[in-house]
Amino acid sequence: MTNKPDLLTLKGSVGIKYFYYLLTQIGLEDNKAFNIAQTAAQTNAFLADGGKKGIKAAKSLLDLEERWYNSVRKTEKPDYDCYSEDIYLAEVWCCWDFYARKYINDLKNIRNVPPLGFKKLIKNYTNIVDLGNGIGMSTAALKQTFPKNIVYGTNLPDTTQWKFNKLLSEEYDYKLIDSLKKLPKDIEFVFASEYFEHFPDPIEHLTDVLTYCNPKILVCANAFKPDSIGHFDNYRHGSEFLTPKEISREFGKFLKENGYNKLKTKLWNQRPSIYLKDGLHLI
């Protein structure tokens, strides 16, 4: 990859072609790469349609989702091996293309975060973290958006997603790590797109994020309610199990109790949410 594309502008068939190219670069056979890319394209079309046809994803992803929820609802051991299935890459691509790419583009728009725009909140040469960064597209896009900053992406080792990240991290110059404990303590900005809902006790994990990252700015887009691979019907909080609506409310309450104030923005539906630590003086 000698010519790096502007990742935030890659969408539709152009983006899918790039996805297919990357799949072949990490060693997948052409037929498998084509099938995964086609699955992503079909699922993106269903997402764009808003489920009007009664279908939200390609069949192979619906089958994987059913496998996940069978493990969550019928056993006490969630089937985390779902994350290691190659076809899951199609879901991860859609999460990037349909959600995270839009969030980062929206953050770049000065009018969405008055008065000076979100980028003015981020100091140069500071650390940025992309939590649970999928195949690394969002992390690479953050590096393109904030070229003077040190950007980290976190992910699970020994997965195909990790292989993707190894490729992209070298090409786009971001750091790939597998544990919050390996991050520096002075994080300027944490980005968490569709991330915390993948933990059975999201507030416990949020506690770890605040402990190990201590970010000045937390940007997150949670989606506790929709069914998806890796999500849960109910979430633990202490000794209780809470509904998605309840855990979302407790999530915001916990952040406020720990000194994070939600910034009022012009982002559609306040997504992603921007939290500033201790009434950050930059605004």
Query: What's the pLDDT band for 2 if we cut at 50, 70, 90?
Result: low
pLDDT exceeds cutoff 70 at 280: no
Beta partners for 154? Answer: 177
Q: Is the peptide bond between 5 and the residue preceding it cis, with omega within 30 degrees of 0?
A: no
- Continuous H helices in 114-243: 137-145, 160-172, 202-213
Output Rg (C-alpha) for the chain, integer angstroms.
18
pLDDT exceeds cutoff 70 at 279: no
Q: Is the peptide bond between 200 and the residue preceding it cis, with omega within 30 degrees of 0?
A: no
Higher pLDDT among residues 7 and 55, named by residue: 7
Q: Which of 273, 2, 12, 26 is nearest to 136 (CA)?
A: 26
CA distance 139 to 153: 6
Average pLDDT in the chain: 94
Res 4: pLDDT: 85
- The reported pTM is 0.95
Beta partners for 127? Answer: 150, 187
The predicted-structure confidence for 218-274, as pLDDT tens digits, reads as follows 999 999 999 999 999 999 999 999 999 999 999 999 999 999 999 999 999 899 999
Mean pLDDT of 13-26: 96
Higher pLDDT among residues 159 and 19, named by residue: 19
Higher pLDDT among residues 101 and 2, named by residue: 101
pLDDT exceeds cutoff 90 at 3: no
The predicted-structure confidence for 103-158, as pLDDT tens digits, reads as follows 999 999 999 999 899 999 999 999 999 999 999 999 999 999 999 999 999 999 98
CA distance 159 to 130: 18
* 33: exposed, middle or buried (Cβ count in 10 Å: 0-12, 13-18, 19+): buried
Res 52: pLDDT: 64
Higher pLDDT among residues 280 and 38, named by residue: 38
The predicted-structure confidence for 172-213, as pLDDT tens digits, reads as follows 999 999 999 999 988 999 999 999 999 999 999 999 999 999
Amino acid symbol at 37: A
Residue in this structure with the two tokens 């993106």, named with its chain if needed:
44
Res 100: pLDDT: 97
User: What percentage of the chain carries pLDDT values higher than 70?
Assistant: 96
pLDDT exceeds cutoff 80 at 60: yes
Number of Cβ atoms within 10 Å of the Cβ of 218 = 25
pLDDT exceeds cutoff 60 at 216: yes
pLDDT exceeds cutoff 90 at 50: no
Q: What angle do CA 231, 237, 239 make, to 5 degrees?
A: 125
Query: What's the pLDDT band for 31 if we cut at 50, 70, 90?
Result: very high
